[in-house]
Amino acid sequence: MAHTLQVIEPATEQVLAELPHAGVEEADAAIERAKAAFPAWRDVTPGDRAKILRRIAAAIDERADDLAELEARNVGKPISDARGEVGMVVDTFLYYSGAPERLLGDTIPVAGGMDFTFREPLGVVGLITPWNFPIAITSWKLAPALAAGNTVVLKPAELTPLTALELEKIAVEAGLPEGVFNVVVGPGRVVGERMVEHPDVAKIAFTGSTEVGRRIGALASQSIKRVTLELGGKSANIVFADADLDRAAASAPLAVFGNAGQDCCARSRILVERSALDRFMDALEEAVDSLRVGDPLDPDTQMGPLISADQREKVSSYADGEAPVAIRGSAPDGPGYWFPPTVLCPVSNDDRAAREEIFGPVAAVIPFDSEAEAVRLANDTIYGLSGSIWTRNGARALRVARAVESGALSVNSNTSVRVSTPFGGFKQSGIGRELGPHALDAYTELKNVYVSTE
Ligand code: NDP
C-alpha cells in the first residue's frame, strides 16, 4: 500500500474515514481475482444468478438507512436525496435480476441451415465511477454487468469510496462468489489507467468528466477495448411563454441546484422566451429564496455543500465572471464547502458560463425570441445529455423534443433518470446507454452461430 487516504466530510471538512490507498499492484491483483472468478460466474445458471441479484437487492434494502447516511456524509448530499438514491440501487438490482433469464437471441432465416445469435458476457469489466452519485451510478453499471455473467473491478472516486466498499461486503454476504466483484480505491491516474490498459480487462464503463473520458477512449483504443462513457452536460431547460410558468419556475432551481449542481443532467442553461422573462424571473427568485440549504443530515435540507474546496474554487470562477448575477440565495458560513445557489441573467450562449460544465449551483438564464432560436441555442453546445421543454402546446413539445440533440429529454418535467429507460448522451456527452434493457448491450457480445443442415 502506498499510503493512507483520508476521506473528508464536505459539510464539516473533518476526516470521515482513513483507508489504505491502492496502486498498480492492488489493481493487478483485483483484475487477477476477477479473471479467476469469471468462468465459474459465467456458468452459474441464469436462474441462480437472478436469485443472487435479488438477494443483493434485499440486503441493500435492509441496510438502506446506514448506506444513505454514509452517502449523505461522504458526498455532502441531502439525506432525503441519498435515501432516494439507495432506493434506486435496490430497484436497479431487482430490475436486472430479471435479465439473466431474458438475455434472448434471434433465429435468423438463412439458406442451407439454421442461424442463431447468443448474448455472451465480455469477461472482466472495469467500472470507474465519479463522486456525485457514487452508489447509484455504481449500481447502473454493476447490476447489468453481473446479470450478464461478467466479473467486475470497480474503482470509485477517491473522494467518495465508502458506499462502494460497503456494497462489496454486502454483495458477498448476500451470496455473490468471492472475486466476482472487487473494489480498488486508488487514484484515477494510477489505478484507473491501469484498468484501462490491462489486457485482461475486456471493457471499461466510465462516468465522469469529458476530459478524462477522452483520455480513457484514447488509451482503450490501443487494445480495441470496449468502452462506454457517460460524460458531461450543459443541458437546456427551455421555457416557452405558453408554459405553466409557475410550475416551470418552481421546479427550475432543483433542476440545477439539486446535488449542489454536481449533476451531469443539471439543466444549467435556462432558455426563457423573452416575452415571459420578467414573470419567470420573479417566480424563480421566490423559488430560489425558499430553497433550504444546509446540514445534509437534516431531512428538510434540499441542497448541501460542494464536494471539495477545489470544486468550490472552480464554481466561484463562473459566478464571478462576465454575466450579471440576478439572484443569489443563501448558504451557511464555514466550515464546509458551501456555495450559494446563483442565477446569472441575461447570459449570452457564448459566455463561458453557458458553454462549460460548471458542476455547481450556478444557472445561466438565456432569453430567446422564437422556437427556431430556442432549438438553435439548445443545440449550440458540445454536449447533449438531457434537457426539458416547458409548453402547453403539444405539437410544439414534440417538434422541439425531436429537434434537440440530446439523449434524455422531458416535457413539462425536469427528470431524466429511470431504472427502466435508457440514459446516455449525444455528442461529447458520451457513448452508449445505461439503464433500461439497452444497458445489457454494453455488457454482452453478440455471437452468431450457423448450423448447416445439409
Ligand atoms: P473525473 O472525471 O476526473 O473523475 C471521475 C472518475 O475518473 C474518478 O473515479 C477518477 O478517479 C477517475 N479518473 C480520473 N482520471 C483518470 C484517468 N486518467 N484514467 C482513469 N480514471 C480516471 O472528475 P473530477 O472529479 O475531476 O471532476 C471534474 C469535473 O468533471 C467536474 O467539475 C465535472 O464537470 C465533471 N464530472 C462529471 C461527472 C458526470 O457525472 N458526468 C461526474 C464527475 C465529474 P479519482 O478522482 O479517484 O482520481
Mutate to test the pocket of ligand 1, among 5, 133, 198, 212 (most ligand atoms within 8 A of CB): 212
Mutate to test the pocket of ligand 1, among 6, 7, 77, 128 (most ligand atoms within 8 A of CB): 128
158 Cα–ligand 1 center, Å? 10
Cell matching residue 167? 456494497
Cell matching residue 154? 470497480
Which whole number is the average pLDDT over 251-258? 97
Atom of ligand 1 nearest to the CA of 155: 9
Residue 231: predicted pLDDT = 97
- Domain residue extents for the chain: 3-231+428-452, 236-418
338 alpha-carbon distance from chain centroid? 22
Atom of ligand 1 nearest to the CA of 233: 41
Q: Which residues line ligand 1 (CB under 6 A)?
A: 128-132, 155, 157-158, 187-189, 192-193, 196, 207-209, 212, 215-216, 230-232, 264, 357, 359
Reported as a single tens digit per residue, the pLDDT across 96-135 is: 999 999 999 999 999 999 999 999 999 999 999 999 999 9
Q: What does pLDDT average to over the chain?
A: 97
444-452/113-121 β-pairing: antiparallel
Indicate if the pLDDT at residue 1 is higher than 60: no
260 Cα–ligand 1 center, Å? 17
Residue 3: predicted pLDDT = 79
Phi, psi of 44 (to 5 degrees): -60, 135
Per CATH, 3-231+428-452 and 236-418 having the same topology is answered: no
Residue 334: predicted pLDDT = 83
Reported as a single tens digit per residue, the pLDDT across 356-369 is: 999 999 999 999 99
Which whole number is the average pLDDT over 333-352? 96
Residue 2: predicted pLDDT = 54
Mutate to test the pocket of ligand 1, among 209, 221, 262, 426 (most ligand atoms within 8 A of CB): 209
Residue 125: predicted pLDDT = 98
Which whole number is the average pLDDT over 300-309? 98
CATH of domain 3-231+428-452: 3.40.605.10
The side-by-side arrangement of strands in the sheet containing 124-128 is 181-183, 151-155, 124-128, 203-207, 226-230, 430-431
Within 10 angstroms of residue 46's Cβ, the number of other Cβ atoms is 14
Which whole number is the average pLDDT over 64-81? 98
- Produce one character per residue of 199-226: b if its CB has 16 or more CB atoms within 10 Å, e if not: eebbbbbbbbebebbebbbebbeeeebb
Reported as a single tens digit per residue, the pLDDT across 131-161 is: 999 999 999 999 999 999 999 999 999 999 9
pTM above 0.85? yes
Residue nearest ligand 1's atom 27 by CA = 209
Q: Which residues pair with 172 in a beta bridge?
A: none
Which whole number is the average pLDDT over 64-91? 98
Superfamily name and number for 236-418: Aldehyde Dehydrogenase; Chain A, domain 2 (3.40.309.10)
Residue 1 vs residues 35, 187, 257: alpha-carbon distances, Å: 22, 12, 38
Structure confidence at residue 218 as a pLDDT band (50, 70, 90): very high
